[in-house]
Amino acid sequence: MRKDTVAIERLAYGGSGFGRINGKACFVPFTAPGDVVTVRIRRETGSYAEAELSELLEISPLRVTPPCPHFGRCGGCHWQHLGYQDQVAAKEEIYAQALWRLARVERELLLPPLPAHEPWGYRSRIQLKVDSGWGELLIGFFAPGSHCVVDLPGGCAVAHPSLNRALERLRPVVAEFPHREHLPQIDLAVGDDGATVLTLHYRGEEPQRAVEFWRSREKQLAPLAGAFLRRDRKGAVTKIFGEGMLTYALSPPTVDGVGEELRLGFTAGSFSQVNYRQNRLLVQTALEWGKLSGGERVLDLCCGNGNFSIPFARQVREVIGLETGEGSVADARRNAALYALKHLRFELRDAVAGLHRFIAAGEQFDLVLLDPPRSGAVEMAKLIGSVGAAKIIYVSCDPQTLGRDLAILQKGGYRVAGSRVVEMFPQTYHMESITLLERV
């Protein structure tokens, strides 16, 4: 296999270090700006190459010792070999370049990132792969670029401590499970009060026997708040024991300053943000940028459990939320009922279909909230202008699809008024962001 020498210039979206071989772009995982390395080329196209690190010839001054013994083998983290402030600076640069390249958003419009208060032990949800095909039980994450499970004895450095404690209790029970070859994945989620829920992904033909086995181990799994079994990725979950509702707080300054703590719930298997503290900053930023007067009509697309809808509904005339996940809509309605928000409505409906319906009915909104999946919101971006919104607040977890969609929205009569990274995922290249657009 061919070897080359590469000087790493910067970090790229995707987590790799970027350098050049005879002028051709080369991407090398687990490198840092300032490294000089020898690499083995793994894949090459006409315009770039992907390589693996072979040897460090010159060590970057940015390098630190990764605290996790699994880093480099486990595919969960990408940047533990960098200090946290350097990670944030790299994300700021990657974000700025993506928005300029894809949507010509000037750097002057980008606010400084909001770094995480705690870059370790922050994740409230983890999806662990299970492999026992060779007799040895492995529970962890896939290795980079493969489906080989890297076992995580001692837990995950970025997972909430409650999740690591739950994983420790789970291991011997999984080892005893007679059908563990039909158990490809285990999900763990924790509320901000430490309550933890387990979801087992079961692919066998005897789900009732599986439920009975895990129910018989409830005491062994204590203090898990609940356990559930899921037969397919989007199907309903079957209760094994306990409760499936987890909660997190949006502190009073995030909501309306009146002193009442606002708590939202979500059920096992439904979406929630993985970093509660940073989620508070995200919602607070959205409320501040909305500059709400109390008379607005708000449309929340991809609303989830009401993470934005509910705090906004306490300050505006009306909110309508659209969501395709049945569990999330049920969570959102339950959260709204808890706070008696009668001017808030949630619909189980695709966002694009909902926009078409509102446009056909001539309905207008003052503000649109948009928090799509990683794939972005191309069709939504083409339609939003037709519901008359003076402002759009776009929350994104992918700067590439965000830039593409911002270009569409700008052509549709909006301008970017401000944007920033909200650092939701320390030790990884992933980033959350929020962008305010105003009608020209």
Question: Distance between alpha carbon 276 and the CA centroid of its chain, in Å?
Answer: 11
Question: Which residues are registered as beta bridge partners of 245?
Answer: 267
Please name the helix (run of DSSP H) or strand (run of DSSP E) that holds residue 239, with its range, or none: strand 237-242
Q: CA 172, 175, 177 angle in degrees (round to 5)?
A: 110
CB 168 within 8 A of CB 222: no
Other beta carbons less than 10 A from residue 67's beta carbon: 10
CB 9 within 8 A of CB 34: no
Region of 198 (left: φ > 0; alpha: ψ -120 to 50; beta: rest) is beta
Other beta carbons less than 10 A from residue 178's beta carbon: 11
Q: CA 363, 366, 369 angle in degrees (round to 5)?
A: 100
Is residue 342 classed as helix, strand or coil in its secondary structure?
coil
Catalytic-residue membership of 26: no
Region of 346 (left: φ > 0; alpha: ψ -120 to 50; beta: rest) is beta
Strands (E), 270-343: 297-301, 318-323
Is residue 185 classed as helix, strand or coil in its secondary structure?
strand
The rounded distance, in Å, linking the Cα atoms of 315 and 89 is 35
Residues annotated catalytic, as ranges = 397
